[in-house]
Chains A and B, each alone.
Chain A
Amino acid sequence: MPIYAPSLPPRPALDQGLPAALVIARFDIRRVLKQRVGRFFGFMFVGSLLIQLATLYVRHLLKTQSAFGGVRDFAAQVFTQGPEFHAGILTMNGWLTTLLWFQVALVGGGLVARDSLYRIRPLMYAHPVRPLDYLAAKGLFAAGLPFIILLPFAILPWGMSLLIAGTAGPISVWAPLYLVPSALLIALLMGAVTLGASSLAASPKAGFGWVLGISLGANALGGLLSGLLHQPAWMALSPQALVQAWPALLCRVTEPPLDWIPTLVGTTVHLLLWTFIAARRTRPSEAVL
């Protein structure tokens, strides 16, 4: 039984609340929800989702309504069918993932950098918070944010397809089985890059620059090497290319932008590298008082 100084009152009950990682992640989420930039991106993503749902509905009408018979052949060319269509649900021909990169860079760039700038980390570590808790909290937020955004794109069109046309709808009944894992892999990749980049930055603005710099720089390097060496596999250096590759591979697109092995290797390397950098940069010894 611990003995305390006699003049001190009984200590409050500790160890009752949420795990430290969830406390930190929740604090970050609340902060982001209050930001104007969050509302802007919310509008953009909801708009994109609505466009996608409207497209699906139009497709359904073209298929089922005889009045649209005249434009059916033209529509069949515009709205390609098959695995490419399914893979495109998550990427929207690159528009959605590009928007998502900007969003994670803006919001996630400051994830660790803000704590560095305002010296919050030493204070956290002076509480019963382990470096692993901190890293888990930031990782959870960094990967959770793009996943939460992508999830409606993976689920809602599928649900709508089921609702309006049953199993004969434009989207396969089994689509969530490969769209949700694709969304998860995209989110993990974006989360890892964001986390590592933010831990290298000294301020949120610099974090934004680091995320975009890594993403665009690796893309340029991958493009350069694959062009020079005539080996498309080098594009696996680029997180952007990997983000495009996963839905294509999982949806079994006939000509995916990258093959399985480079995609697997590239993703593993990025996940390990950026998580390692973030872990090193958020150690207590880096948290200078």
Chain B
Amino acid sequence: MTATVSLERASLRYGDILGLSPTTFELPDGGGITGLLGPNGAGKSTLIQLLSGLLPPSGGEVRVFGQVPFRNPAVLSRIGLVPEGDRFPVGLRGHHWLRMMGELSGLSGSHLNAAMASALTAVGMEVNGKKLFSEMSKGMRQRMRLGQALLHDPEFLILDEPFNGMDPESRLQLMELLRQQALAGRRILVSSHILGEVAQLTDRILLLFRGRLLAEGSVAEIRELLDRHPVELRIGAESAQAVARWAVEHDELVALRMEESGAVLAVRNPRSFLPKLQEAVLSGALPLSSLDPIDLNLDAVFQFLTKDHA
């Protein structure tokens, strides 16, 4: 299988500061969404700058569509970038801005008009696209940004923190829009520092931390990491001692913390522990009134991985 993106020990330095350690990964051809995850300063924007041809790597090799993207119009015309941020010049109308971006991609005349109409329809901004940016909601502005990236019908879309500051409804709409674009055959890279939103969206995740690629894989593969990672469960019960007595008999227990209304258990391999817990509750051996998984999600894996590598 050929790759839309391939990095071979690609690294980037800003003077003495290492923005991205030697990194190797591939994004396959064809439609699909990849999440680029990491906290602020992890190197997500650096990686995006490399992929979108803004900077050349300090070492190694970056290839997009089999070519070096840096200042390469042949590659850039096949990439759509939605940079981070939500600032637009005062007095600027959406369709004027869209037209300029289309022209910068090399579109003109009827092709440009058709591309604008198509992009505005794709992002649901046919009616509101002529408004001033200052009159648009944050969600609308983000749709316009995505619209400009779709204008020249790119095969590879890069979105840098697209959900920042969006309300839940706009976020869901944008996610649906991205899913549609992926189904249409586009490879999409979405960067975020919030795992929950990317977990709802993506079939593949790259975890970055302090300029290093920590993990790479599908959501299912990442979930496998949960089994190695101690998961915290808050168990509500009238007698915390009873919970503690039951829990200490199991090998999966790593740590135990007593609370007023129950206990917090840190357990390894929740896949084997949870059925035992269920059985104990059903048989009446464990007087449980509530069960609250504190960190049984991707955020926990992220914390787990980043702690190990900090």
Binding site for B on A (CB under 8 A): 4-9, 11-18, 20, 23-24, 27, 30-31, 34, 114, 117-120, 122-130, 284-285, 287-289
How far is B115's CA from A137's CA once the two chains are assembled, in angstroms? 24
Complex contact A127–B105 (CB within 8 A)? yes
Complex contact A17–B52 (CB within 8 A)? no
How far is B82's CA from A126's CA once the two chains are assembled, in angstroms? 9
Binding site for A on B (CB under 8 A): 29-31, 45, 48-49, 52-55, 71, 73, 76-77, 79, 81, 83-85, 87-89, 91-92, 96, 100-101, 103-109, 111-112, 114-115, 148, 152-153, 155, 160, 183-186
Complex contact B30–A12 (CB within 8 A)? no
Complex contact A23–B104 (CB within 8 A)? yes
Question: How far is the CB of B87 from the nearest CB of chain A, in Å?
Answer: 5
How far is B109's CA from A14's CA once the two chains are assembled, in angstroms? 11
Question: How far is the CB of A244 from the nearest CB of chain B, in Å?
Answer: 34
Complex contact B83–A5 (CB within 8 A)? no
Complex contact A20–B104 (CB within 8 A)? yes
Interface SS of chain B:
loop
Complex contact B107–A289 (CB within 8 A)? no
Residues from chain B with a CB closer than 8 A to the CB of A8 are 153, 155, 184-186
> Of the candidates B29, B84, B91, B92, which one forms a contact with A5 in the assembled complex, judged by CB atoms under 8 Å apart?
B29
Closest to B29 in A: A5
> Of the candidates A16, A119, A124, A128, which one forms a contact with B85 in the assembled complex, judged by CB atoms under 8 Å apart?
A119
Complex contact A130–B54 (CB within 8 A)? no
Closest to B44 in A: A289
How far is B104's CA from A127's CA once the two chains are assembled, in angstroms? 6
Complex contact B184–A27 (CB within 8 A)? no
How far is B87's CA from A284's CA once the two chains are assembled, in angstroms? 19
Complex contact B83–A289 (CB within 8 A)? yes
Q: Can you name 20 A-B pairs with beta carbons within 8 Å?
A: A4-B155, A5-B155, A7-B185, A8-B153, A12-B114, A13-B107, A17-B107, A18-B108, A23-B103, A27-B100, A114-B89, A118-B85, A119-B85, A120-B89, A122-B54, A123-B81, A125-B54, A128-B76, A287-B54, A289-B49
Give the 3 A-B CB pairs with smallest separation, nearest first.
Answer: A17-B108, A128-B73, A7-B185
Residues from chain B with a CB closer than 8 A to the CB of A130 are 71
Q: Known contacts A287-B54, A289-B49: does B106 contact A15 (CB below 8 Å)?
A: yes
Closest to B80 in A: A126
Residues from chain B with a CB closer than 8 A to the CB of A288 are 45
How far is B103's CA from A30's CA once the two chains are assembled, in angstroms? 15
Question: How far is the CB of B180 from the nearest CB of chain A, in Å?
Answer: 12
How far is B186's CA from A17's CA once the two chains are assembled, in angstroms? 25
Complex contact B186–A126 (CB within 8 A)? no
How far is B105's CA from A15's CA once the two chains are assembled, in angstroms? 7
How far is B55's CA from A287's CA once the two chains are assembled, in angstroms? 10
How far is B29's CA from A127's CA once the two chains are assembled, in angstroms? 21
Q: Known contacts A114-B89, A128-B104, A284-B54: does B112 contact A17 (CB below 8 Å)?
A: yes
Question: How far is the CB of A24 from the nearest CB of chain B, in Å?
Answer: 7
Residues from chain A with a CB closer than 8 A to the CB of B77 are 14, 127-128
